[in-house]
Amino acid sequence: MTFCESITFLGEQEKPMKIKSIVDHTAKALEDMIVKGKLKPGQKVKEQEISTRLGISRPPLREAFKILEAEGLIRREPRRGVFVSELKDGDIWEIYTLKLALYTLGVTLAMDKITNGEVEKLEKVVAQMEKSALGGGSPDVMKYEELNNLFHELTANIAGHTRLKKIQQSLNNQIKRIAYRSFGDRKHLEASCRYHRKILEAIKDKDKARAEQLTREHILRGLEVQERLRKNPPSSPFTKGGNAPLS
């Protein structure tokens, strides 16, 4: 069954899903290829090859390209085609320093408004993070990265700061592939998980200064790991299913 044939919904008869859904699914499939390194930075994304691989026509693929371009994952060059975007050292530094400012702001503002129900939501996210990272066996890095982003999106939601949330989402989309790579470092993954538990405990204790400090340390550690990986890139490829690379 092709990708397109599988995107159907149940009714009296099977009908193709709306074009928007096909575009969204196509964008997600391409995003996974980029994040997991199946499409490399700087690599040309060939329309015919991808449309055949996914079993879709070119129009929804081109719409998916627009989504990924807006997220900073690809770039389109006139008369040359579509390429996977590259992140340089300066880009990574800029994104992480912005995350440092935005995440600490989100936590600070959230603590002035947070309710018991919202604390419970954060608790559920952290519990899922611990299950993904510390549950034994190979960690689910893709799942963990999604939960990591969700934790900080929730603090922006709680703060009631829509623009903060949107900027965070944009930065996370740009850096998702290297965050995936960094979480392949098991020690970093586990440390990140512990940081989120500590941040949550500080929120519960209404200790704003400690929550801010822990959030800063968490982001700075991520930047340090990126710098180390740049100097000593992992030699082993990512494993299937979104798990950590073997190292």
Cα 245 to the chain's mean position, in Å?
17
Q: What is the mean pLDDT of residues 228-246?
A: 52
Cα 196 to the chain's mean position, in Å?
16
Encode pLDDT of 56-82 as tens digits. Answer: 888 999 999 999 998 888 999 998 999
Q: What is the mean pLDDT of residues 3-9?
A: 43
- The Cβ of residue 131 has, within 10 Å, a number of other Cβ atoms equal to 16
Encode pLDDT of 8-55 as tens digits. Answer: 333 434 444 455 688 989 998 998 888 888 898 899 999 999 999 888
Q: What is the mean pLDDT of residues 166-186?
A: 85
**Confidence class of residue 236 from pLDDT cuts 50, 70 and 90?**
very low
Which ranges in the chain are annotated with CATH 1.10.10.10?
Answer: 3-84
Q: How far apart are CA 211 and CA 107, in angstroms?
A: 7
- Are the C-beta atoms of residues 222 and 174 closer than 8 Å to each other? no
**pLDDT over 70 at 246, yes or no:** no
Q: What is the mean pLDDT of residues 85-96?
A: 89
Is the pTM value of this prediction over 0.85?
no
Whole-number mean pLDDT of the chain? Answer: 84
- Say if domain 3-84 classifies as CATH 3.40.50.10740: no
Which ranges in the chain are annotated with CATH 1.20.120.530?
Answer: 89-242
Residue 146 or 15, more confident: 146
- Helices first, then strands: H and E counts in the chain: 10, 5
- Say if domain 89-242 classifies as CATH 1.20.120.530: yes
Q: What is the β-pairing status of strands 8-9 and 15-16?
A: antiparallel
Tokens of 77: 């060059």
